[in-house]
């Protein structure tokens, strides 16, 4: 019998086959024993057959990047704000910004900009990316670029931001520290600026918020000083107030309660500085990384906007335009990592080991570092019996396992391991950036081939980025001679 689950639901939790047509969530369903991502048969990528890519099978492992899910997320959130604003008569606008730290890949940033998102960033290389997008015409002139992160004088970031401002008008540096004001003033360029409140973590009131042990943002005293300095500077205009209270916050009442003290500060600032008009609540928007996720976005938006109305009415100031910086929410679901089960090993363990042809811990570092859960499902044999298993990666590391070590969530896989493939889903935010793109990985495992999938009116569009070859990995570690002497006819991994 299946054990009763007590952790997040990460996959199929029964020994019986998955019924045909079963929908795991709104983008994963089962048909003829195969798992489909919308109407893409994932197993067919490896087994051939009815794949829109044609019959030529790929080798595993593979990362699938499915861009339509990014567009869907942005459209949905903008839809919730539009509907709720109309319902309650909210007079401010909504600005969706993509927090690019979640995934800075070219195809991701291009897709978010194409879907109308403003752009949030935090490092000098991010500025290069924004400049590149601007010069290619993908970052339109009226789109806002929100520059978070530390940027005191004489840093590359500060320097690059000033360069970007010469080419793009709507850039808003958000001040993390008083030391960031002088270089903006000295640039002589007109800048709209934001102030970031020290606000990270749970708090009940202003005093608790201000006492938080956080390196981000300005304390209450510094915030008011910064507002004064900005107001006095002839080339700076205060436009935005930023307060971020956490990440993956699944309790909507707590989310808005933690934002209440910042709303009060916004209203007081707005009384004194009428140019201020954007309340930016930063990141924190949760997204489904497991199958039991339940968050009512519309109800959150309603609570956020009605609370802003109430606070602003109390201070007799107009309601602000609202901005969110959506990182995890934008990108978590668009990407999956697919592996083959290459061995079943009993080893007299409590549960059989299914060993996969890649690394769990270097592909999804949050699974071992934070005990984070992701959705894991087989791509084929879903119409056959299942058993409870544990997954092991190819590194020699005892942490390279799934479910995470302290997890209470059972994981079931088909008993039949013949040509069995499986996928980790909802891994598109932060995992690739934390694990590193290219470079050398744990136990020198090469990086998987990447399949970028998009669609337009004419159907699917596919781009294949080759994985790392053995030579790539060797050269990267300084073994140039060894790489040269490898048999040149050896096929690169994943192709």
Chain residues in the site for ligand PLP (CB under 6 A) = 99, 101-102, 120, 148, 244, 247, 282-285, 325-329
Q: What DSSP letter does each residue of 66-89 carry, written as one string?
A: ETHHHHHHHHHHHHHHHHHHHHHT
Q: How far is the CB of 293 from ligand PLP (least distance, A)?
A: 14
Write down the least CB distance from residue 239 to ligand PLP, Å. 16
Cβ distance to ligand PLP smaller for residue 148 or 335 = 148
237 alpha carbon, distance to own chain's centre: 31
Q: Cα 111–83–172 angle (5° rounding)?
A: 50
**Minimum separation from the CB atom of position 3 to ligand PLP (A):** 32
As measured in angstroms, the least distance from the Cβ of 174 to ligand PLP is 8
Q: What is the spatial distance between Cα 261 and Cα 265, in angstroms, rounded to a whole number?
A: 6
Q: Which residue's CB is nearer to ligand PLP, number 99 or number 227?
A: 99
- The answer to whether residues 393 and 442 touch, using CB atoms and an 8 Å cutoff, is no
- Rounded Cα distance, 33 and 205, in Å: 53
Q: CB within 8 A of 180, min separation 6: which ones?
A: 150, 151, 152, 153, 158, 173
| Least separation in angstroms between CB 70 and ligand PLP | 13
Between 313 and 434, CB nearer to ligand PLP = 434
- Is the Cβ of residue 200 or residue 425 nearer to ligand PLP in the bound state? 200
Q: Residue 301 or 474: which CB sits closer to ligand PLP? A: 301
Cβ burial, residue 388 (10 Å; 0-12/13-18/19+): middle
Q: Tell me how far, at minimum, the Cβ of 318 lies from ligand PLP, in Å.
A: 25
Minimum CB separation of residue 115 from ligand PLP in Å reads 16
CA 344 to chain centre: 33
CB of 321 to ligand PLP, least distance (A): 17
Instruction: Name 234's Cβ contacts closer than 8 Å, sequence gap at least 6.
Output: none
Nearest residue to ligand PLP by CB is: 283
Choose between 327 and 410: whose C-beta lies nearer to ligand PLP: 327
- Find out whether 441 and 447 touch, Cβ atoms under 8 Å: yes
Give min distance, CB of 287 to ligand PLP, in A. Answer: 8
Distance of CA 474 to the CA centre of its chain: 30
Cα angle at 274 between 269 and 277, to 5 degrees? Answer: 80
For ligand PLP, the closer of residues 319 and 429 by Cβ is 429
CB nearer ligand PLP, residue 391 or residue 426: 426
Select 434 or 477, whichever has its Cβ closest to ligand PLP.
Answer: 434
Q: CB neighbours of 368 closer than 8 A, spacing ≥ 6?
A: 360, 361, 399, 400, 401, 404, 405
Give the full edge-to-edge strand order of the sheet including 40-41. Answer: 28-31, 34-37, 40-41
**Closest CB to ligand PLP among residues 162, 285:** 285
Distance (Å, whole) CA 306 – CA 161? 35
Whether residue 422 contacts residue 337, with contact meaning beta carbons closer than 8 Å, is answered with no
Ramachandran assignment for 249, one of left (phi > 0), alpha (psi -120 to 50 degrees), beta (any other): beta
């Amino acid at each position: 019998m299946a054990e009763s689950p007590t952790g997040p639901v990460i996959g199929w939790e029964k020994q019986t086959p998955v019924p045909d047509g079963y929908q795991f969530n709104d983008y994963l369903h089962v048909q003829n024993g195969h798992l489909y991502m919308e109407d893409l048969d994932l197993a067919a990528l490896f087994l051939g057959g009815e794949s829109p890519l044609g019959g030529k099978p790929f080798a595993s492992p593979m990362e699938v990047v499915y861009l339509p899910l990014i567009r869907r997320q942005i459209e949905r959130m903008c839809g919730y704000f539009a509907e709720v604003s109309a319902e309650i008569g909210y007079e401010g606008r909504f600005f969706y910004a993509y927090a690019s730290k979640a995934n800075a890949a070219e195809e991701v940033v291009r897709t978010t900009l194409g879907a109308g998102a403003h752009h949030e960033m935090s490092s000098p290389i991010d500025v290069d990316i924004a400049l590149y997008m601007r010069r290619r015409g993908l970052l339109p002139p009226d789109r806002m670029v929100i520059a978070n992160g530390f940027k005191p004088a004489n840093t590359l970031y500060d320097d690059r931001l000033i360069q970007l401002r010469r080419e793009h008008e709507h850039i808003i540096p958000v001040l993390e520290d008083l030391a960031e004001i002088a270089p903006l003033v000295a640039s002589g360029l007109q800048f709209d600026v934001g102030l970031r409140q020290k606000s990270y973590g749970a708090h009940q009131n202003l005093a608790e918020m201000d006492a938080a042990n956080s390196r981000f943002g300005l304390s209450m005293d510094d915030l008011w000083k910064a507002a004064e300095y900005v107001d006095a500077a002839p080339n700076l205009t205060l436009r935005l107030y930023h307060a971020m209270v956490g990440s993956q916050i699944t309790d909507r009442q707590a989310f808005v309660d933690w934002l209440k003290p910042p709303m009060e500060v916004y209203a007081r600032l707005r009384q004194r500085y009428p140019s201020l008009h954007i309340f930016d609540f930063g990141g924190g928007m949760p997204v489904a990384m497991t199958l039991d996720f339940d968050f009512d976005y519309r109800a959150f938006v309603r609570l956020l906007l009605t609370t802003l109305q109430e606070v602003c009415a109390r201070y007799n100031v107009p309601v602000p335009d609202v901005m969110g910086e959506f990182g995890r929410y934008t990108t978590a679901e668009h990407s999956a990592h697919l592996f083959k089960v290459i061995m079943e090993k009993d080893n007299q363990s409590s549960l059989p080991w299914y060993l996969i042809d890649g690394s769990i811990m270097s592909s999804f570092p949050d699974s071992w570092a934070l005990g984070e859960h992701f959705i894991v499902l087989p791509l084929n044999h879903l119409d056959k019996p299942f058993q409870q298993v544990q997954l092991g990666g190819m590194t020699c590391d005892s942490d390279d396992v799934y479910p995470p070590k302290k997890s209470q969530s059972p994981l079931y896989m088909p008993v039949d391991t013949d040509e069995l493939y499986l996928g980790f889903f909802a891994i598109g935010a932060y995992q690739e950036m934390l694990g590193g793109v290219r470079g050398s990985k744990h136990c020198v495992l090469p990086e998987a081939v990447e399949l970028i999938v998009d669609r337009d009116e004419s159907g699917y569009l596919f781009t294949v980025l080759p994985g790392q070859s053995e030579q790539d990995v060797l050269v990267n570690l300084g073994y140039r001679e060894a790489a040269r002497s490898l048999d040149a006819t050896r096929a690169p991994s994943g192709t």
